[in-house]
Amino acid sequence: PKTDIVFLKVHKSASSTVMNILFRFGEMHNLTFAFPLGGGFQLYYPHHFLATFVQGFSPRSPRRFNILCHHMRFLQPEVQKVVPSSAIYFSILRNPVQLMESSFVYYKGASAFSRVRSLEEFLRQPQRYYNPASGDRHYARNLMTFDFGFNPDGEASPERVQLMLKAIEASFDFLLISEYFDESMVLLKEMLCWDLDSVVSFPLNSRDSSTKSPLPDSVVEKLKAWNRLDWEIYTHFNRTFWERIERDIGRERLRREVRALRERRAELARTCLQGTGSVAPKDIKDSSLRPLQHGGARILGYNLKQGLARGLERTCRRLVTPELQYSSLLYKKQFPPQPP
């Protein structure tokens, strides 16, 4: 199994669920994480990543960490200073239409969104509300492009787009697609030589459908045009994702493995969870399992069954522990507080 991994955690793309998978694998195999300084939750995002943002990194001691997976704005020469040269690089993408709709609800307080009532209103005159000089502009335009380290306001000429796609291909071994999450997990398992239980998960940081609204076609077209760079990244890597599946796995085995993954998830849900699945934040009984609520989104969580055997309780708890709590727990394990 591969144990040296860089995961670029792209915003609003099922990346918290992937992070949970990496946290569990790392914890089980006693791997080290490149944590933000002082145990924070982001690597000084939205600044471009620097090795000095990592707790325990020193230019003098060439310490390397197994897994880098916290939010960052990608800058490969700096990333290479904190992970082994053999590390596998991957990320996950989401259709920019859904991504922006999610970003609008989640980051409603961002300067570009704060003065409009709806995404439609914003897209009618985006230039009126969007300021390319504001520090939080990336939430409102080409968010994936920004996370990969590029200029979200760059022109979308064919030459520029090609350079960007080639740069991403040169840095990353593969990219997953959140709309095809289970197929992505099968590919991840294949690329990292992991077993099925290592990639099974419950959806984390997902929001209640009451805050989701379908967008009319006219808005979708405006949204694609406004996020043209993201759209180019998504369509290109959606295509190469399926080419890679054909080449490395084949459709028949893919179908079998997706079925096995879904059966295992359903089995774990029956074993671990009260009820059939996720619940609203107010209904989560154990406050340590309550995810951070942000913006206008209602982030769902889970209730564990009572009276589980100890080992099983631990397995189940890890599956549903929200990102911030899990990150803090692993940070304290890796950097135990010094006694006074």
DSSP 207-221: B-GGG--PPPHHHHH
Whole-model pTM: value is: 0.95
Query: Measured between alpha carbons, how far is residue 38 from residues 100, 111, 324 in Å?
Result: 31, 28, 14
Sheet holding 67-68, edge to edge: 67-68, 5-8, 88-93, 174-177
Rounded to whole angstroms, how far apart are CA atoms 77 and 149?
Answer: 12
**What pLDDT is attached to residue 277?**
87
pLDDT digits (tens, 9 = 90+) for 135-186: 999 999 999 999 999 999 999 999 999 999 999 999 999 999 999 999 999 9
pLDDT at position 292, please?
A: 87
Q: Among 184-193, 297-306, 323-332, where is mean pLDDT lowest?
A: 297-306
Question: How high is the pLDDT of residue 211?
Answer: 65
Model confidence pLDDT, tens digit, residues 188-237: 999 999 999 999 999 988 877 766 778 889 999 999 999 999 999 999 99
Question: pLDDT per residue over 80-106, tens digit each?
Answer: 999 999 999 999 999 999 999 999 988
Domain 5-334 has CATH 3.40.50: yes
C-beta separation of 202 from 302 below 8 A:
yes
pLDDT of 223-250, one tens digit each?
999 999 999 999 999 999 999 999 999 9
Distance, CA of 154 to CA of 157 (rounded, Å): 9
Q: What is the pLDDT of residues 52-66, one digit of tens each?
A: 999 999 998 778 999
Rounded CA-CA distance 28/133 in Å is 43
Spatial contact of 184 and 176, defined as CB atoms under 8 Å apart: yes
